[in-house]
Structure formats: C-alpha cells, structure tokens
Amino acid sequence: MHYDQFFSIDAGPGVCYSGYRENQFPGGPIPTEQEVKEDLLLVAQHFSYIRLYSVDHHTKMVLEILEKEDIPLKVMIGAYLEAEVNNPDCGWDSGVYPSEVLKANAQNNRQQVLDLIDIANQYPERIFALAVGNEACVSWTDHLVDVAQIQEYILMVKANCSQPVTVCDNYVPWLEVMAPLVKHVDFISIHTYPVWEYQDIDRALDVTQSDFSKITQKYPDTPVVITEAGWPTMANGKGIPVHFAHPMAQKTYYQALNRWARESKVLVFWFEAFDEPWKGSDDPAEPEKHWGLYTVKRHPKRVLIKGGYKR
C-alpha cells in the first residue's frame, strides 16, 4: 500500500484543530460560526489537512463552513472513544470509573461510531480519512478501550464508509497491544512527543525519526502517518522541564520536522493549531494549554513568523 491511494503528500502538511477559545470548552460553550471561519482561513494559509477528534456540534460547524466558504482543507475526522475499561495505571489517577459509567460510555462510543459513519457519508469528498479512537490504548490513558472492541468499531466503519480507516495513538502500543489491529486498518497513525520523553530540542527530530522507524520496520507493508507531533511554548516543570518549553524550540522542531516530512514523504499533523486554555490544571503555565502555533487570541507565535524574532 502507498500513501497516494489515500492522499497526496505533495499537497502539504496537516494540523490538529480544536477551535475552543477563552471560556469555551467541549461540552460547554462552543465557538461561533464567525470564529470558526476565522480559524479555518488562518489554518488554510499554512496547511492542507486538518484533524478533528470527535463528531459533535463543533465538528459539524467546521464541515459546514468549509463547504459553504469553499476553503481548501481536507479533513480527517475521528470517533472519540471514552473509557470502557478501568485503567488503574492511568498517569493522572483518573482511570477508574463505576460500572454504570463504563456501561454508559460503551453506549456513547457506539453512537459516536455511528455518527462518524453518518458524517463521513455526508462529506465523502471533504473527509479524506476516518479515525476510530484517540489514545485509547496507550498504558497511561484515562479512556481505555479494549483492542478487541476497537476492532469491532473499525469493522463497522469499514463496512459502511469509503474512506480509509485508522486508529490514532502513541507509537508504543502499536508495537505491542495494538498489533492485532494492523491487518484491519488502512494506515497506522502514531503520536510522537520527544519533549514528553524528556528529550531536549537538540534530540527532538532524532527521537521522532526513531519512533517512526520502529513502526515502519515492524509493519513495512502498511503506510504510517504521524497524527500528532508538537512542542509546547510554556511549561510548569511537571513532566516537562520549564526551560525545554520555549517559542524558539517550537520553531526549531517545527521547521526540522516539516523538512524531514517533505523529504521522506510522510504526512504529519502538527499538534496543534491554537492554544487551549481549557485543558489541564488551573496553573496558567500548564503545558497542555500551550501547544498551539497561535495563541488563544489567534496571534501567531514565533514559529509562524519569518525570522522568529517577534511575539
């Protein structure tokens, strides 16, 4: 199998997109149509593909605006899977739920998969790929789903949609627990974060190349996409050293990764388009809030400014 069966690498890079601004968050207030349009026009200046994580009102608005305004962005859309299995090894002590919650989650997940099928068939030209789950198998996740159940969801989607199907997760579980899924997906989607592996900017590209190679060497006949790779511009020292997170480090990794991706003909989705203040703890320096190429106010960071000397 080759990339060109699914998408054109020459068309350009991708980016993960979540449009929530200050005082907006999933399950609460969502962006307005004008705000989403503003975002998509900004993103289209630099990218050819965007990745959306779930099927919800925000996602539907994105697709409607892309069609209405004829914005040249293709979309990978995912079915977001919540925990169906308890995970006492969750990295932040929130992976264990009452049985009734797990049961409700399983019902919600099945509906999310059905919604994915429905929207994929509504936009067969705009949506170029489908993802079943996001980081639902990695050892530290708080939304663990059994691999056999994910396989069932994959087969549901493949039986009802024409787009290629994948699962998005950290590269490590693809080497182990997720191996049975490889024969069912059309391509493998991995996440690689050198900074979360305690690597500084000097080692960043080498680590990403190594993560990618581990997968391609194990599965040489299956295309591999990097659906998340990024670098934060601020950190509080919890998990990421404060001095690792810097606008110029983000710019360095972004440029190096894009250069390698072009040369190697690998589709990469940068994580992510805009800062997300709703994520993580109340600490304003929480790194989960600061992965964007733009601030939450939609100001470009150094990574997108030629020369990189302005804020």
Q: What is the DSSP string of 132-148?
A: EEES-SSTT-SS---HH
> What size, in residues, is the chain?
311
The pLDDT score that the predictor gives to residue 1 is 42
Mean pLDDT per block of 10 residues along the chain (311 residues) reads: 56 90 94 98 96 97 98 97 96 88 98 98 97 97 98 98 98 98 98 96 98 98 97 94 96 96 94 96 94 98 72 30
Is residue 158 in some structural domain? yes
Domain contains 311: no
Q: Which residues pair with 294 in a beta bridge?
A: 274, 300
Question: Is the residue at 249 inside a domain?
Answer: yes
Q: In this structure, what are the phi and psi dihedrals at residue 100, rounded to the nearest 5 degrees?
A: -70, -30
Q: Does residue 270 fall inside a structural domain?
A: yes
Distance CA(231)–CA(250), nearest Å, equals 5
Q: Is residue 171 part of a domain?
A: yes
- DSSP label at 26? T
For residue 309, tell me if it sits in a domain: no
What is residue 6's predicted lDDT score, i.e. its pLDDT? 61
Give φ, ψ of 61 to 5 degrees. -65, -40
| CA-wise closest residue to 61 among 40, 85, 87 | 40
Count of the separate structural domains present in the chain: 1
The pLDDT value given to residue 5: 60
- CATH code (residue 144): 3.20.20.80
The pLDDT score that the predictor gives to residue 99 is 97
- Residue 310 domain flag: no
What pLDDT shows up at residue 38? 98
Residue 60 in domain: yes
pTM of the model: 0.95
Residues spanned by the domain of 149: 3-304
Cα–Cα distance for residue pair 301/14, rounded to 1 Å? 17
